[in-house]
Amino acid sequence: MAHRFPNQTRTLLPSDELLRNPHKGFTTFQRFRGDRLNEDWTMQTGWRMEQIPQGELFCGRYDDGHPDTSLAYFRIPWRRLEPERGRYDFTFLDFVLEEADRRGQKVMLRFPPHAARPGELELPEWMVDALHLPEREVGNKMSPDHPLFYESYGGFIRAVGAHIDGDSRVSAVDMSLISAWGEGHQIDMVLEKDWKGLVDAYMQSFTKTPISAQFNHPQSVLYANSYRPVGLRADCLGNMTWHMPNLYPRAFAQMNELWKRAPIAFEVCWIMKHWSDMGWDVDYIIEQSLQWHISTFNEKSARIPDFLVEKCQRWMKKMGYRFALRVIDFPADACPGDVLHLSVCVQNLGVAPIYHRYPLVFRLRGERGVCYDLPSDADITTWLPGDHMWEGSVTLPPDMAKGSYALEVGITDGDTLVRFANGAEVRDGFVVAAEGVVVQ
Q: What is the DSSP string of 50-66?
A: GSPPPGGG------TTS
Domain count, the chain: 2
The residues with which 242 forms a beta bridge, in sequence order, are none
Distance of CA 73 to the CA centre of its chain: 9
- What residue type is 17 in one-letter code? E
Band of the pLDDT at 64, cuts 50, 70, 90? Answer: confident
pTM for the model stands at: 0.94
Is 352 found in the same domain as 285? Answer: no
Is 340 found in the same domain as 249? Answer: no
Note the pLDDT of residue 57: 61
Is 175 found in the same domain as 87? Answer: yes
Q: Tell me, what CATH number does 240's domain have?
A: 3.20.20.70
The residues with which 262 forms a beta bridge, in sequence order, are none
Contact indicator for 228, 209 with CB cutoff of 8 Å: no
43-52, 171-180, 371-380: lowest mean pLDDT where?
Answer: 43-52
Which tens digit of pLDDT belongs to each residue from 96-121?
A: 999 999 999 999 999 999 999 888 78
pLDDT at 76 over 70: yes
Note the pLDDT of residue 48: 81
Residue numbers of the domain that contains 163:
25-318
Is 289 found in the same domain as 336? Answer: no
Query: H/E/C letters for each residue in 248-262?
Result: HHHHHHHCCCHHHCC
d(CA 158, CA 152): 10
Contact indicator for 340, 330 with CB cutoff of 8 Å: yes
Contact indicator for 138, 117 with CB cutoff of 8 Å: yes
Is 177 found in the same domain as 30? Answer: yes
Is 179 found in the same domain as 160? Answer: yes
Element (H, E) at 366: strand 360-366
Q: Tell me, what CATH number does 429's domain have?
A: 2.60.40.770
d(CA 243, CA 263): 19
Q: From the CA atom positions of the chain, what is the Rg in Å? A: 24
CA atoms within 13 A on the CB side of 13: 3
Is 114 found in the same domain as 94? Answer: yes
Interstrand relation of 371-375 and 360-366 (parallel, antiparallel or unpaired)? antiparallel
Is 274 found in the same domain as 179? Answer: yes
Which tens digit of pLDDT belongs to each residue from 52-61?
A: 877 656 665 5
Within the chain, what is the greatest distance between any pair of CA atoms? Answer: 79
d(CA 202, CA 437): 49
Q: Which of 287, 318, 349 is the last residue of a domain?
A: 318
Is 360 found in the same domain as 294? Answer: no
Q: Which of 268, 298, 318 is the last residue of a domain?
A: 318
Nearest to 266, CA basis, from 235, 301, 230, 303: 235
Q: Which of 302, 318, 334 is the last residue of a domain?
A: 318
Is 267 found in the same domain as 189? Answer: yes
* Residue 406 DSSP one-character state: E
Is 142 found in the same domain as 33? Answer: yes
By CB atoms closer than 10 A (0-12, 13-18, 19+), residue 321 is buried
- What residue type is 392 in one-letter code? G
Is 311 found in the same domain as 174? Answer: yes
Q: How far apart are the first and last CA of the chain?
A: 13
Which tens digit of pLDDT belongs to each residue from 229-273?
A: 999 999 999 999 999 999 999 999 989 899 999 999 999 999 999
